[in-house]
Structure 1
Amino acid sequence: MDNLPMPPDTCAPLPASLLPHSPPMVLIDTIDQWDCDSIQCSAHSHLYESNPLRDRGRLSVFTGVEYAAQAMAAHARLSQPSGEPPGKGFLAVASRLKASVDTLDHYRAPLRITARALAQNTGSSMYQFRLESEGHCLLEGQLTAVVEPSVPGN
């Protein structure tokens, strides 16, 4: 799969318009590129003391699972047929997690979140993800989400 940049005349929507969260829980800032198989996003929210995932002032590397889940959800929305209402998705499984650091606190550069679809159907999807900063892989793994079908009028 080639990770092709978006054409220059195509503007990606803001992540907040694609996610079922409200600030400050919208963690990704931009969608840098995407295609039918993958998405790459950037985030600065790991730098904020107000990050809602901080615990006792620290941001565990495993909060990267939420960053990846948001990239995955944004990709699902971007890949959805036009006009079709989104279903409600739930993260069901995080597996094959491999962390190379304990926290995200020491990385001052933006996070780069890449997610690639491994399998998708109407009720679930599985993605492989990678969270990087400053040229280092911080966390990688797989996520599986279950999607409830959308019900017209709800």
Structure 2
Amino acid sequence: MSADAPLLDRADILGLVPHQGAMCLWNAVLAWDAERIRVRADSHRDPAHPLRRHGRLGAVHLCEYGAQAMAVHGGLLAADAPPRAGLLVALRGVALSLARIDDLPGPLIGEAERLADSAAGQLYGFRILHDGRTIAQGRAMVALGGAVD
């Protein structure tokens, strides 16, 4: 997968996922295929980020970035079907290499790989990079519900 020009922008992503407004964390899809996706975000530097607390954005929120990369991939795979709501039900093997992310100067790059998929849920491995270095990784399971209105 290439990291060049975006294939899809934020407006496209908003049409694929249930996350709307500031809670849609990714800005661009850089590459994707049936098993993987690569996305980019600058939202971690936004002073109005919805997950900030006391002026800071902790690295633990990279798990949400990973889960949303999964949602974007699922939306792309679903083609013209409406976005489905999901509930993050499990995180495993999560490793974070820093305490906070709001002070990182460049974009975040997210990579997610589908490990298992069914009508009831999805399991993905995810990795978040900054400046070419892995800052978070793990596995996430999402239970899927119905379409979002």
Does the alignment reach a TM-score above 0.5? yes
More strand as a share of residues = 2
Per the alignment, residue 73 of structure 1 pairs with: 71
In 1, the alpha carbon distance for the partners of 2:62 and 2:88 equals 13
Structure 2 residue identity aligned to 1:55: R
Runs of 4+ in 1 over 6 A off after TM superposition: none
Larger Rg: 1 or 2? 1
Mapped pair 1:135 → 2:125: no
Structure 2 residue identity aligned to 1:120: D
Q: Deviations over 1:39-71 (max 9, x none)?
A: 010000001111111111111001111111111
CA contact (8 A) 2:7 2:28 kept: no
Q: CA shift at 1:73, angstroms?
A: 0.4
CA contact (8 A) 2:57 2:101 kept: yes
- 1:119 corresponds, among 93, 116, 119, to 116
CA contact (8 A) 1:123 1:149 kept: no
Structure 2 residue identity aligned to 1:47: R
1:82-121 alignment to 2 at 5 Å?
Answer: 82-121=79-118
In 1, the alpha carbon distance for the partners of 2:107 and 2:136 equals 14
- 2:39 corresponds, among 35, 38, 41, to 41
Mapped pair 1:146 → 2:146: no
Structure 1 residue identity aligned to 2:115: L
For the aligned residue pairs, the C-alpha RMSD in angstroms reads 2.1
SS across alignment from 1:15: helix
Mapped pair 1:12 → 2:8: yes
In 2, the alpha carbon distance for the partners of 1:48 and 1:85 equals 28
Structure 1 residue identity aligned to 2:119: T
User: Sequence identity, in percent?
Assistant: 29
Structure 2 residue identity aligned to 1:66: E
In 2, the alpha carbon distance for the partners of 1:54 and 1:93 equals 22
Query: Tell me, which stretches of 5 or more residues in structure 1 are unaligned?
Result: none
SS across alignment from 2:55: coil
In 2, the alpha carbon distance for the partners of 1:94 and 1:44 equals 24
